[in-house]
Structure 1
Amino acid sequence: MTEPVKYLKPTQLSTELRYFPSLLFQVIALSLQFLPPDWDVLPKASLRGLATSRTYSDLGDELLHFLGRPGFAIAAIQADFLRSSWLKNCGRGVESWHAVGNSIRQAQELGLHRQRDIYQSNETNVEETLSMFWYEQHKKRIWINLFVWDSFMAMILGRPRMVHMDDCDVEPPMDCNIPGDPSKAVPMTVRPEDSQSVSTASAPLFRYAMACKAHEMRALRADRPRLKDYSIVRTLHEEIMSLVEALPAFLRIKNPDTTRDADFPYLPQLRQEVQVMTNLFLMTLHRPHIISNLESRRAALQAALETLDCQQSFFAHAKQHQYQLFGFAFYTVDASFLVSIITILFPPQNNETTQRISHSLQQAIESLTLMQTSNVIAASGLDIIQRCYQKLKSTPESFSSISDTRTPSYGTPVDGLHNLIKDLGQQDFNQLGGPQSNFSQSNIISGLASSTPFPQPTPDNFNQTYWLDQLNVIDPLIYDQDFGNLWENINFG
Structure 2
Amino acid sequence: MENQPGTHRKRPITACLECHRSKKRCNRAMPCSVCVARKIPNKCTYSQPTRLLTPTTSSQAVAEVAFPYSPGETIASSNRASSPTLSERLGYSSANGNRAFGASNHLSPSERIIQSHQKETERFLSSLSKEKICDLAMQLPPENVVRELVDVYFAKVNRYFSILEQYYFEKAHATWNDAALKNIRLGTLENLSPDLLFFPALLFQVLAVAILYLPLETSSAIFLQIDDGASGTRTSERYSDKGMEIMATLGRNDSTVTAVEQELLRSFWLKNLGRGKEAWHVLSNSIRMAQELGLHLQDELRQDSITSAEETLDWLWYDEYKRRLWTKLFSWDSNMSFNLCRPRIINASDCTIKTPIDCDIPLEPSTRVPMAPGEHDRPSCYTPHVFQYFISQLIHEVLSTGIHKRNAADYRNVIMIHDRVTSILNELPAAVRPQSPDNSWDVKYDIIPVHRQHIINVASTFLLALYRPHAGKDSLCRERAVQAALDVLRSQQQLFELLAARNSQIYVLSCYAIDASLFLAVTTAKYPPDNTQLFEKISYALKEALDRIIWMRTKSPLAKAGEPVLKSCIAIMERSFQTHLQSQNPQPVSLLTPWSQTSLLPSDTFSDRGTFLPPNAGNFQHSDFADLGEVSTLNYNNENNSWMFESVTETFFDIDSFMNQMS
CA–CA separation in structure 1 for the residues paired with 2:532 and 2:557: 35
CA–CA separation in structure 2 for the residues paired with 1:12 and 1:407: 72
Q: Does 1:55 align with 2:234?
A: no
Q: Report the counterpart of residue 436 of structure 1 in structure 2.
A: none
Q: Report the counterpart of residue 84 of structure 1 in structure 2.
A: 267
1:327 to 508, 517, 525: 508
- What is the CA distance between 1:92 and its match in structure 2? 0.9
> What letter is aligned with 1:199?
S
> What letter is aligned with 2:273?
C
- Cα distance change on mapping 1:385 and 1:266 into 2, 3 Å: same
- What is the CA distance between 1:466 and its match in structure 2? 5.9
CA–CA separation in structure 2 for the residues paired with 1:266 and 1:59: 32
- What is the CA distance between 1:18 and its match in structure 2? 0.5
Q: Report the counterpart of residue 475 of structure 2 in structure 1.
A: 294
- Cα distance change on mapping 1:77 and 1:327 into 2, 3 Å: same
CA–CA separation in structure 1 for the residues paired with 2:640 and 2:354: 49
> What letter is aligned with 1:38?
E
> What letter is aligned with 1:39?
T
CA–CA separation in structure 2 for the residues paired with 1:411 and 1:375: 30
1:276 to 441, 457, 467: 457
CA–CA separation in structure 1 for the residues paired with 2:313 and 2:234: 44
CA–CA separation in structure 2 for the residues paired with 1:239 and 1:422: 28
- Given that 1:392 and 1:399 are in contact with CA atoms closer than 8 Å, whether structure 2 keeps it comes out as no
Q: Does 1:101 align with 2:284?
A: yes
CA–CA separation in structure 2 for the residues paired with 1:195 and 1:396: 51
- Cα distance change on mapping 1:273 and 1:188 into 2, 3 Å: closer
1:371 to 537, 552, 556: 552
1:406 to 581, 588, 597: 588
CA–CA separation in structure 2 for the residues paired with 1:98 and 1:308: 28
> What letter is aligned with 2:588?
R
- What is the CA distance between 1:316 and its match in structure 2? 3.2
- What is the CA distance between 1:188 and its match in structure 2? 3.5
Q: Does 1:229 align with 2:410?
A: yes
2:214 to 35, 38, 55: 35
Q: Does 1:258 align with 2:439?
A: yes
TM-score, structure 2 as length reference? 0.60
CA–CA separation in structure 2 for the residues paired with 1:231 and 1:13: 57
CA–CA separation in structure 1 for the residues paired with 2:637 and 2:410: 23
- Given that 2:572 and 2:636 are in contact with CA atoms closer than 8 Å, whether structure 1 keeps it comes out as no
- Given that 1:381 and 1:464 are in contact with CA atoms closer than 8 Å, whether structure 2 keeps it comes out as no
- Given that 2:454 and 2:495 are in contact with CA atoms closer than 8 Å, whether structure 1 keeps it comes out as no
- Cα distance change on mapping 1:366 and 1:15 into 2, 3 Å: same
Unaligned runs of 5+ in 2: 1-163, 180-189, 591-634
Q: Report the counterpart of residue 418 of structure 1 in structure 2.
A: 643
> What letter is aligned with 1:341?
V
Superposed CA deviations along residues 35-82 of structure 1, whole A, max 9, x for unmatched, are 223334232432322211111111111211211103431111111010
CA–CA separation in structure 2 for the residues paired with 1:406 and 1:200: 47
- SS for the counterpart of 1:310 is helix
1:18 to 174, 193, 197: 197
Deviates more, 1:68-77 or 1:53-62: 68-77
CA–CA separation in structure 2 for the residues paired with 1:225 and 1:290: 9
Q: Report the counterpart of residue 115 of structure 2 in structure 1.
A: none
Q: Report the counterpart of residue 118 of structure 2 in structure 1.
A: none
Q: Report the counterpart of residue 42 of structure 2 in structure 1.
A: none
- What is the CA distance between 1:131 and its match in structure 2? 0.9
1:199 to 380, 384, 387: 380
- Superposition pairs of residues 297-312 of structure 1, within 5 angstroms: 297-312=478-493
- What is the CA distance between 1:157 and its match in structure 2? 2.3
TM-score, structure 1 as length reference? 0.80
- Cα distance change on mapping 1:295 and 1:414 into 2, 3 Å: farther
Q: Report the counterpart of residue 385 of structure 1 in structure 2.
A: 566
- SS for the counterpart of 2:301 is coil
CA RMSD of aligned residues (A): 3.1
CA–CA separation in structure 2 for the residues paired with 1:344 and 1:225: 20
- SS for the counterpart of 2:441 is coil
> What letter is aligned with 1:137?
E
1:148 to 320, 326, 331: 331
Q: Percent identity?
A: 32
- What is the CA distance between 1:190 and its match in structure 2? 3.8
CA–CA separation in structure 2 for the residues paired with 1:464 and 1:103: 26
> What letter is aligned with 2:235?
T
- Cα distance change on mapping 1:420 and 1:36 into 2, 3 Å: same
CA–CA separation in structure 1 for the residues paired with 2:370 and 2:192: 25
- What is the CA distance between 1:315 and its match in structure 2? 2.5
- What is the CA distance between 1:201 and its match in structure 2? 2.7
> What letter is aligned with 1:54?
E
CA–CA separation in structure 1 for the residues paired with 2:492 and 2:402: 29
- Given that 2:320 and 2:356 are in contact with CA atoms closer than 8 Å, whether structure 1 keeps it comes out as yes
- What is the CA distance between 1:311 and its match in structure 2? 1.6
Superposed CA deviations along residues 403-448 of structure 1, whole A, max 9, x for unmatched, are 742249x99988842266799xxxxxxxxxxxxxxxxxxxxxxxxx
1:45 to 205, 227, 231: 227
- What is the CA distance between 1:467 and its match in structure 2? 5.2
- What is the CA distance between 1:246 and its match in structure 2? 1.3
- SS for the counterpart of 2:404 is coil
- SS for the counterpart of 1:251 is coil
CA–CA separation in structure 1 for the residues paired with 2:661 and 2:429: 34
- SS for the counterpart of 2:312 is helix
Superposed CA deviations along residues 273-325 of structure 1, whole A, max 9, x for unmatched, are 11111111111111111111112111111111111112222233444422211
Q: Does 1:176 align with 2:359?
A: yes
CA–CA separation in structure 2 for the residues paired with 1:336 and 1:292: 21
> What letter is aligned with 2:193?
S
Q: Report the counterpart of residue 465 of structure 1 in structure 2.
A: 656
CA–CA separation in structure 1 for the residues paired with 2:557 and 2:211: 17
Write out the 4+ residue segments of structure 1 that deviate beyond 6 Å after TM superposition.
10-13, 410-415
Superposed CA deviations along residues 321-344 of structure 1, whole A, max 9, x for unmatched, are 222111111111111111112211
- Given that 2:295 and 2:326 are in contact with CA atoms closer than 8 Å, whether structure 1 keeps it comes out as yes
Q: Report the counterpart of residue 434 of structure 1 in structure 2.
A: none
1:245 to 421, 426, 429: 426
- What is the CA distance between 1:168 and its match in structure 2? 0.6
- Cα distance change on mapping 1:393 and 1:415 into 2, 3 Å: closer
- What is the CA distance between 1:226 and its match in structure 2? 0.7
- Cα distance change on mapping 1:256 and 1:464 into 2, 3 Å: same
Q: Report the counterpart of residue 117 of structure 1 in structure 2.
A: 300
- SS for the counterpart of 1:114 is coil
- Given that 1:77 and 1:103 are in contact with CA atoms closer than 8 Å, whether structure 2 keeps it comes out as yes
- Cα distance change on mapping 1:396 and 1:104 into 2, 3 Å: closer
- Cα distance change on mapping 1:105 and 1:197 into 2, 3 Å: same
CA–CA separation in structure 2 for the residues paired with 1:470 and 1:124: 66
Superposed CA deviations along residues 252-272 of structure 1, whole A, max 9, x for unmatched, are 112211111122111111111
- What is the CA distance between 1:234 and its match in structure 2? 1.3
Question: Which of the two has higher C-alpha Rg?
Answer: 2
CA–CA separation in structure 2 for the residues paired with 1:331 and 1:313: 13
Q: Report the counterpart of residue 166 of structure 1 in structure 2.
A: 349
Higher relative contact order by CA 8 Å / sep ≥ 6: 1 or 2? 1
- Cα distance change on mapping 1:138 and 1:379 into 2, 3 Å: same
- What is the CA distance between 1:134 and its match in structure 2? 1.1
- SS for the counterpart of 2:440 is coil
- SS for the counterpart of 1:250 is coil
> What letter is aligned with 1:290?
A
CA–CA separation in structure 2 for the residues paired with 1:279 and 1:71: 39
- What is the CA distance between 1:119 and its match in structure 2? 2.5
CA–CA separation in structure 1 for the residues paired with 2:306 and 2:474: 63
CA–CA separation in structure 1 for the residues paired with 2:443 and 2:504: 25
Deviates more, 1:399-408 or 1:147-156: 399-408
- Cα distance change on mapping 1:304 and 1:261 into 2, 3 Å: same
